[in-house]
A and B are shown apart, each in its own frame.
Chain A
Amino acid sequence: MLIKKIFVLTLCLFYSTLVVAKDGYTINFAPLPTKSSSQNVKDFLPINQFLKEKLSLHINYVYKKDYQDILDGFKDGTIDMAYLGPLPFISLRKDYKHAEPIVTFKQSDGSSKYRCVLAKFKNDIFTKDKKIKVALTQPLSTCGYLMTNILLKDKFNLDLKNQKYKYKMSHTNALISVVKGEFLLAGAKKSIASKFKTLGMEIIAQSKLLPGFSLVVNTKTLTKKQILKIQESLLSVSQSEYKKWGGISSNGLVKAHLNDYDSLNVDFKIPKKGNLK
């Protein structure tokens, strides 16, 4: 009788530990792989603090070296939440329906959408006579192969697969490689490329507005209640408070919708590696 009692109590204790662990609000979060770890800590520190205070939710950083690893993390359940651009999200959704965007980060102009651009150094001459060298961010970066290819086709009638291109793993790296003279063009986010104007860079083409970066949750590892709480909490913050947070959150957040991504159709295969050594 006593053994049975102990067994039942132990079972209850074990179950309650599990529940507490889940409700202990420790979630695994994957920030942008294109930024340094210190920059990521800096970017997400105010949001972390807020969630910790509001929901007793502790963020555990899971650093992945590229988008593919983040997508894999979603699938194997080791990542509960990630900060993703539109292309990685669409790629994830293709194979994994449990990924859902909850909030989108606004740009400095107040919009939750952004543009990708093609940029070059002013003094460099752009000629279609020979193959051009293009610097890209990452395979699953929206402004990477996807939008660069689209812009080249739309504006200059060039097919990226016929040019020399290389993944430089970040927008800044892609732009700097053009300043260095290693590449003729770089595909990058407009807000980042604009910073390089003081280095003689000019934007020669820009895309239509695209859905912004969002926090994407794993509905398989987090409960609906938890997701709702996170979403509602983040959206309940005043604009002045967002401003105080600074960094990527300084312009505020808006609710993300799945249909924002409908306009993005990826009807071609994105090469995982560049064709330039």
Chain B
Amino acid sequence: MKKLFALVFIVLFLITITIYKYMEISKDEAIQNLADKTLEFVKIANKAVLDTYMVVAKKDFFDIMKNGEVLKILSKFKYATIDEQNILRGELYRLLYKDYELLKKLNVRQFHFHTYDGKSLLRFHLPYKNGDNLMSFRKSVKIANTKFKPVSGFEGGRVYPGYRYVFPITYDEDHLGSVEFSVSFEGIEKKLKNIVPFYGHRIIFDKEIIYNKIFKKNRELFVESKFSSDYYSENYCISKSNGDKEHDKFVDKVTKLVKDSPNFMKKLNSKKSFAIPIIDNNLGYIVTFLNVKNIDNKSAAYVISFGKFQDIVGIQQRYNNLVFIGLFVAIFIYLLVITVLFQVQKIKVEASKLQKFIDIQNSIVILTNGVKFKFANKKFFDFFGYRDLEYFLQEHYCICEHFLEMDNFFNLSHVMDSEDSWVDSLLNLQGSKRIVSMRDKNSIIHAFSVSINKYDEDNYIIDFSDISDTMREKIQLQEQVIKDQLTKAYNRVYFEKNIDSLIAINREKGKETGIIFFDIDHFKNVNDTYGHQVGDDVLKTIVKIVNSNIRDDDKLIRWGGEEFIIIFCTSSIENVYKKAEHLRVSIEQYRFDEVGSLTCSFGVILHNDSYSIDESIKKADAKLYEAKNSGRNRVVV
């Protein structure tokens, strides 16, 4: 029992663990889904911001292209001397600095004109710094001035990386150079903050793609990122000098949590956008890493957005509640199963005790509702020679099949149509008349007094007490009446009394009644040659041979002299023939003490209900006659 309880516990434990794991995975997926949606939101917002700047840049570019004075200065610049170029540069600055002031208000950090050959013409953010060649490391400038196509996207630079919008300038079919509008991440962040409800946004730059291209003297503006040495961010000291200390505390805290999160470095090194949800001290955070590709479509930076998301704590809480309920249900089921098992075990013990109690009874005890046989004690199986009830039921449907038709004994022929079953019929009898006779496994007849007790609403406990000793004389007398005294085969009295019930039982089983009529060939010669004693021995031996080759339920009847009939349950004439042929061969092969070998002739038929049994016997006899006439030692169907 303890083993069973342990087994149930282990099975339930494994199921619970499996469900718990499934819930954990589902919870993580739900939280990750929210984080991924947040990332999508950041992506869309970021794109919206960049598109807005594209509109600003385009508008300003078109203004420039409509400004005749600007185009005139640029046209002259292309073909001017150095001194003239300096003055033209100053004039261009004087002409457009107010536009730059406006652009600065829109967070455009760089407003930069390039010459037709890709040199810096005028940086409005650093006007005295010009003339340096940008072609080699600024792909956007190269494309604009060699392919004359507008270019936009994230790009590194010698001073500061940013989002660039570069437009080629052509006037009167003369390529004059290009103009660039660059937006720093500060500008992007300001706008992002208005759209996305995050605490803050940061950018980290790829060391190889961005940081290594910055002028060495400008690298002090950057420090190694706290996320990875492969990335750089703005110098914390410089940012700190601008304030925002509290903000950085939050970012520092979340940064540490992100770094400790599983697979973070793998995700970062994948150079793809990802989101990390974190729950710490009942506070929820989502940090999104939006991968930024540069104009060469190489991963150049990550825009990192830090946000508080209490919703993920709510999701976790809901799943935790479900897990708690699941655990509670598991415990409840366990207790329920244990209780059921305990009760089953208790019933089994009780049933075992009852079985033991019933088994030690001397009488046969059965449980039945009169139709269905449900239980029998050990005595029952010992008596009939069956291993268990299942084996018994394979051949019989009821103990009542074994009730012998004997005078003063109850049998199935006594059951009236008004009675539901043989049990009802017995109950309708006086107690002293409830007596049945049955053959044991050794074909010995026993007499039983039957007592019937109500077990429950439908069933009866029926006790068959063996009263053979007191009924012995009566039984023996009965035996003598129905059996041939020489061969101990049934006689014609038995046949007359039982043939109808035998046929009825077969019919109820949905089977046919087979009839084998046989006699011993040249038996007269045996008597004449070896004497009657030998003839009697031959008859006894024949009965012995046949009984050993037929079933217990098959009835061998001595019909008269050397003639015998076998009545049995069968399904077809082929089976009847086979049985007869088998008997014929068995007898033919037997060696009798005095006589040596003998043969028998067989006539076989299936009883047909449209004829009387006598007519059937006559038909079988006719077939036997046919066998005799056709040479004996054969079976005729």
Contact = CB atoms under 8 A, between A and B. Distances in A.
Contacts of B381: none
Given A179-B127, A180-B93, A199-B128, A42 B86 contact: no
A243 to B, nearest CB: 12
Interface in B57-105: 86-91, 93-94, 97
Given A38-B238, A41-B238, A199-B86, A123 B91 contact: yes
Contact of B94 (A38, A41, A45, A179): A179
Given A38-B241, A61-B241, A198 B94 contact: no
A271 to B, nearest CB: 28
A42 B217 CA distance: 9
A41 B88 CA distance: 35
B130 interface: yes
Given A42-B220, A176-B127, A247-B217, A199 B242 contact: no
B220 A199 contact: no
Contacts of B131: 198
Interface residues of A, number: 25
Contact of A180 (B87, B94, B242): B94
A58 B523 CA distance: 140
A246 B216 CA distance: 10
Nearest to B130: A198
22 contacts: A37-B241, A37-B242, A38-B235, A38-B241, A41-B241, A42-B220, A42-B221, A61-B241, A121-B90, A122-B86, A179-B93, A180-B93, A181-B94, A195-B128, A196-B127, A197-B86, A198-B131, A199-B89, A199-B90, A200-B86, A200-B87, A201-B90
Contacts of A172: 128
B499 interface: no
Nearest to B237: A41
Interface of A: 37-38, 41-42, 45, 61, 63, 121-123, 172, 175-176, 179-181, 195-201, 246-247
A152 B157 CA distance: 42
A66 B262 CA distance: 51
Contacts of A247: 217
- Among B94, B221, B237, B242, the most chain A Cβ lie within 10 Å of the Cβ of B94
B91 A200 contact: yes
Nearest to B220: A42
Contacts of B90: 121-123, 179, 199-201
Q: By CB atoms of chain B within 10 A, which of A122, A172, A175 has the most?
A: A122
Contacts of A179: 90, 93-94, 97, 127
Nearest to B90: A200
Contacts of B241: 37-38, 41, 61, 63
A73 B91 CA distance: 42
B602 to A, nearest CB: 124
Interface string B200-211: 000000000000
Nearest to B127: A199
Contacts of B127: 176, 179, 196, 199
Lowest 7 A-B CB distances belong to which pairs? A200-B90, A200-B87, A195-B128, A199-B90, A37-B241, A38-B238, A200-B86
B81 to A, nearest CB: 13
Interface in B121-176: 127-131
B390 to A, nearest CB: 96
Interface of B: 86-91, 93-94, 97, 127-131, 217, 220-221, 235, 237-238, 241-242
Nearest to A38: B238
A153 B242 CA distance: 42
A45 B220 contact: yes
Nearest to B131: A198
Contact of A198 (B97, B128, B221, B242): B128
B86 A246 contact: no
A123 B91 CA distance: 9
Count chain B CB atoms within 10 A of each CB in A122, A180, A198 and give the residue with the most.
A198
Given A198-B131, A199-B93, A200-B91, A38 B221 contact: yes
Nearest to A196: B128
Contacts of A122: 86-87, 90
A199 B86 CA distance: 5
B353 to A, nearest CB: 87
- Of the listed residues B93, B97, B128, B242, the one surrounded by the most CB atoms of chain A closer than 10 A to its CB is B128
A256 to B, nearest CB: 26
Contacts of B221: 38, 42
A195 to B, nearest CB: 4
Contacts of B91: 123, 200
Contacts of B237: 41
B408 to A, nearest CB: 124
Contacts of B93: 179-180, 199
A247 B219 CA distance: 13
A176 B100 CA distance: 13
Contacts of A201: 90
Given A199-B89, A247-B217, 8 more contacts: A37-B238, A38-B238, A41-B235, A122-B90, A179-B127, A180-B97, A198-B128, A199-B90
A121 B242 CA distance: 35
A198 B120 CA distance: 12
A42 B237 CA distance: 10
A246 B128 contact: no
Residue of A45, A123, A175, A179 most packed against chain B (CB within 10 A) = A179
A47 B130 CA distance: 29
A107 to B, nearest CB: 17
Contacts of A176: 127
B217 A123 contact: no
Nearest to A172: B128
Contact of B89 (A41, A63, A198): A198
Contacts of B242: 37
Nearest to A42: B220
A113 to B, nearest CB: 23
A16 B114 CA distance: 62
Nearest to B89: A199
B216 to A, nearest CB: 8
B35 to A, nearest CB: 35
A180 B93 CA distance: 7
A197 to B, nearest CB: 6
Contacts of A63: 241
A246 B241 CA distance: 22
Contacts of A121: 87, 90, 94
Contacts of A37: 238, 241-242
Nearest to A194: B128
Contacts of A38: 221, 235, 238, 241
A246 B87 contact: no
Nearest to A195: B128
A36 B631 CA distance: 138
Contacts of A41: 220, 235, 237-238, 241
Contacts of B86: 122, 197-200
Contacts of B88: 200
Contact of B217 (A181, A196, A246): A246
A58 to B, nearest CB: 13
B76 to A, nearest CB: 13
B628 to A, nearest CB: 134
B286 to A, nearest CB: 31
A200 B242 CA distance: 34
A81 to B, nearest CB: 18
Contacts of A200: 86-91
A22 to B, nearest CB: 24
Nearest to A181: B94
Nearest to B82: A198
Contacts of B217: 246-247
B88 to A, nearest CB: 8
A174 B356 CA distance: 118
A42 B221 CA distance: 8
Contacts of B89: 198-200
A42 B218 CA distance: 9
A247 B220 CA distance: 12
